[in-house]
Homo-oligomer: A and B are copies of this chain.
Amino acid sequence: MRERRLAMFEEIDLKREYTLDEEISIKAEIDELGDRFAQLQQRLKKAGIPVIIAFEGWSASGKGSLIGKLLKYLDPRGVKMYSITSPSDEESRKPYMNRFWMKIPGRGEIAIFDRSWYHDWMTSGKESHSKDIEVFERQLTDDAYVIFKFFLHITKKEQSKRLNELEASKATKWRVSAHDWKQNKAYAVCKEEYDFMLEKTNFEYAGWNVISGMERDVALKEVLETVVKRLEKLCRKVEKDGIHSIEGRGIPVSKMDFELVRKPLIQDVSLDCTLSEKEYHKRLDKLQDKLLKLSYKLYKKKIPLIICYEGWDAAGKGGNIKRMVSCFDARDYDVNPVAAPDSYEKARQYLWRFQKNLPKTGHIAVFDRTWYGRVMVERLEGFNTETEWKRAYNEINEFEQELMDWGAIVVKFWLQIDKDEQLARFRERENNPAKQWKITDEDWRNRDKWDKYEVAVNDMIKYTSTKDAPWHIIESNNKYYARIKAIETVVDAIESRLS
């Protein structure tokens, strides 16, 4: 975490007064900056730059009305405004950052937040989700998102004056809460906490702008100035050198802060393991009972379970998943097949579509193919750049770590078969009318790239087998053996969590 130090609140002069001439000149500047902001919106759209503007600050510091004024410059079709309050029931059953991930803008769009992912920290006054916040802001800015964070600062006296004014009018009385007065009473303590928050999260890629909220016009001018100048510079850069020119390189595998577990190369795994049909059915029956009971315990303890399937084409993912989920109560799980992203998904950071399908607490999500497409098919087919897939190992480890910190059990399977077995299965599919839908030209094309995929898979297993979410290589030449091993692995993972 690189930070640049700023005297956060200390540099801000809340006592500054303005002459009439100055006020007139500020209004003129606002008009001029507003025009530029309006024009910028079309350039951002064309350049495909996604922009997030977040406002935090003291209660009654004027966030709402400032945002209202900003919005007037913009075409409402390319901007979304989110007012953040406490999470809904549904949202509190997802990881803390999930509801903010869900709100990230698409490329070329603007999202404005009235309060933000700092909500818990601001309301509790205690450090809250700082690691998750850092990951969120870094991963997005690495992906060419531009994040502005404004903190509107006013004095204790001004705050109490404004709260009193709001309370005096029938139309605005409801906007003042007990929390607002509490904050005003504990102003000095809060200020110290907020200063700590601002310093701690003043990242190079997403720094804070602390702005005086004492004079509304001055605040608006400063916000516009900050946003317009930076965005104009970025637009010029992207118009010249393309969107990738404003991306970050992220954290390379050599600098990852994860303890990795060593796994064999997939081609070195012996695939001789077999199981007879009779033995298979006997063990499956027992395991199904066991896993069903364990899944009820997860449900009661509100522990989410996430099972990830990757593997060669025709390795038997479908059949394996079918037996896995037959162990669960139908009300508890979802299977998420992952195909190519649609246009809405493509317009967002690649993890967005997986954040969208996370299970609720106590529920189970099975992913049939996963976010690892980023370092496999996308890498090999050139759907992303080298910078992108190289930083994805760390991003994915961070993503899974966040899931586990939230309480999830994450189990990842690589279904391994050898090249001969794949050929035999492809042939069988072609010859069996009931299975022909399972085989496409793309499968054959992927097969031609077997060796390249092998490299990518080994890289993936090497760099993302973290201590708490290692890859499990499932020997799948024999489907019976593979299914039992996968279920047993999940049983082990749950039991070790529950014990």
Contacts and interface: CB of A to CB of B under 8 A. Distances in A.
A168 interface: no
Contacts of A325: 71, 76
A415 to B, nearest CB: 15
Nearest to A77: B337
A411 B255 CA distance: 57
Contacts of A128: none
B321 A83 contact: no
B434 A39 contact: yes
Contact of A329 (B42, B68, B343, B366): B68
A76 to B, nearest CB: 4
Interface in A310-364: 318, 321-322, 325-326, 329-331, 334-335, 337, 342-344
A462 interface: no
A26 interface: no
A322 B76 contact: yes
Contacts of A89: 88-90
Contacts of A429: none
A90 B99 CA distance: 13
A83 B329 CA distance: 11
A313 to B, nearest CB: 15
A75 interface: yes
A481 to B, nearest CB: 21
Contacts of A368: 76-77
Nearest to A70: B330
Nearest to A436: B42
Given A80-B334, A344-B344, 18 more contacts: A39-B434, A45-B437, A46-B437, A67-B330, A68-B329, A68-B330, A76-B321, A76-B322, A76-B325, A76-B335, A76-B368, A77-B318, A77-B321, A77-B337, A83-B330, A83-B331, A112-B330, A342-B343
22 contacts: A39-B434, A64-B330, A67-B330, A68-B330, A71-B326, A71-B330, A72-B322, A75-B322, A77-B318, A77-B335, A77-B337, A78-B337, A80-B334, A81-B331, A83-B330, A88-B89, A88-B90, A114-B330, A174-B300, A342-B342, A342-B343, A344-B344
